[in-house]
Amino acid sequence: MLNLRKKILVAIDGSPHSDKAAEEAVRLAVGNQSQFKSRVYALLVLPNAPTSNYTDFVPSAPMTETKKWDDLRERLFYVVEKCAAEHDIPLEMIVEYGDPADKIISLARREEMDVIVIGSSGKGVIERRIKGSVSHKVASNAGCSVFIVRG
């Protein structure tokens, strides 16, 4: 089997678990010793934009169009940007709206990713039962390998 360039998707949410996943994604890319560089795709999934109702005359702008977005984006993508730059790994940053697990799975299929790297949330059994686990849903439904990084 040829060891060609890999497409690595890492889920980012600003938590310490996602920062660790970002570091692991870059480490995976660095470990590919072929002549073709692997590429890391950092995906941030924001909650659905609030829908306006009949009492709203001016709907609120999406988060990515607010004045606070530049600072927030810089903080959320800081670790993956820094690690990728240190190791000269190509990085593409993607922001989408919706359900995190669904967006991660659909992007991985659409872009034919080789591996998804995602942090474990560290939720307890009860919280996982109530809210669900993004990493579990991704691992169960992804069409490629999934690397779950534990805290």
pLDDT at site 34: 66
In angstroms, rounded to a whole number, what is the distance separating the alpha carbons of residues 15 and 2?
A: 35
What's the average model confidence in pLDDT over 29-43? 84
**DSSP-assigned states of every residue in 84-125:** HHHTT--EEEEEEES-HHHHHHHHHHHTT-SEEEEE-----H
In angstroms, rounded to a whole number, what is the distance separating the alpha carbons of residues 39 and 8?
A: 6
Find residue 45's DSSP bridge partners.
Answer: 96
What's the average model confidence in pLDDT over 86-114? 94
pLDDT at site 57: 56
Q: Is the pLDDT of residue 39 over 80?
A: yes
In angstroms, rounded to a whole number, what is the distance separating the alpha carbons of residues 140 and 99?
A: 15
Contact 88, 18 (CB under 8 A): no
Domains of the chain in sequence order? 7-50+58-149 (3.40.50.620)
pLDDT at site 103: 95
Count of C-beta atoms within a 10 Å radius of residue 85? 11
Sign for the CA dihedral angle at 92, 117, 21, 35 comes to negative
How does pLDDT run across 123-143, given as a tens digit for each residue?
555 555 555 688 889 999 999
Segment among 4-13, 31-40, 61-70 with least mean pLDDT: 61-70
One-letter identity of residue 63: M
What's the average model confidence in pLDDT over 36-62? 71
Q: Is the pLDDT of residue 109 over 90?
A: yes
Tokens matching residue 150: 């534990």
Q: Is the pLDDT of residue 101 over 50?
A: yes
Q: Is the pLDDT of residue 86 over 50?
A: yes
pLDDT at site 91: 95
What's the average model confidence in pLDDT over 62-66? 60
Tokens matching residue 75: 């903080």
Segment among 25-34, 94-103, 119-128 with least mean pLDDT: 119-128
